Structure 1
Amino acid sequence: MKTYFLPVLLSVLVTPSPAGAAQPLQVIGYSGYLGEWELTATVAETTSGSTPEYSGPLTMKHVGICTQDGPEEKTGALRFRISTASSRLNAIISVAGVECTYAGQLSDSYSGTMNCPGRQGVPLKLWVK
């Protein structure tokens, strides 16, 4: 299995499981203007239907060049839905008690902006596989 990393913002590739096979999905990506935060998550389908929902734990690691004493790491949760009709991924990202929203459009990855309360939105690219 290949892992896809792009030294850019945050990204997600989605490969749906065959019907009836509830296999976890791997989510990887980068956020920030210089791709300074790496995101990884393993999610499972929590609701099915025409627009299934996925959720699971996530880790964000600061991989920027200005890290001191090793990379800073934060843990949290990722919850999202993918609309196949519009090729959009809508997510809630919870880290350190802060709940952020994300809406990304599929091209080679899901590209969009992560918006957190009281902060300026930051670019986020996600791949789900």
Structure 2
Amino acid sequence: MIQPSHHRPIVLVVEDEPLLRMAAVGLVEDAGFDALEACDATEAVRILESRTDIRIVFTDIDMPRGIDGMKLAALIRDRWPPIHIIVTSGHVADRNVRLPVDASFFGKPYDERQVTKELHRMAAVAQREVPGL
């Protein structure tokens, strides 16, 4: 397992569209976080299984290969309960999204200031839950 090597919180960005993933990574980094990238939920699970320092996952709902962002969010909540989750979609309205406990939803196009604020809120909670990260 890869252990934490620095003090900036790490956010795993899961997005199958390369340009949207690049934009989300830029948002995360501009907000003061380190970003890891996954092109689908399968890759995201592999990354989560190999690291202990990820505190937030930022995932799109619509992804290929069977596991969408909602299934990924549920899997994360079951296997890695301390990880905070932000779910996004340009095709699903927030009233139709059934999120796991302690997850947030943002419709696309999302307000970057609101997402940044939520990332910081989640990071502060994670810091209290797991001091030293």
TM-score (normalizing by structure 1): 0.29
Task: Please state which structure has a larger fraction of its residues in helix.
Answer: 2
TM-score (normalizing by structure 2): 0.28
Task: Please state which structure has a larger fraction of its residues in strand.
Answer: 1
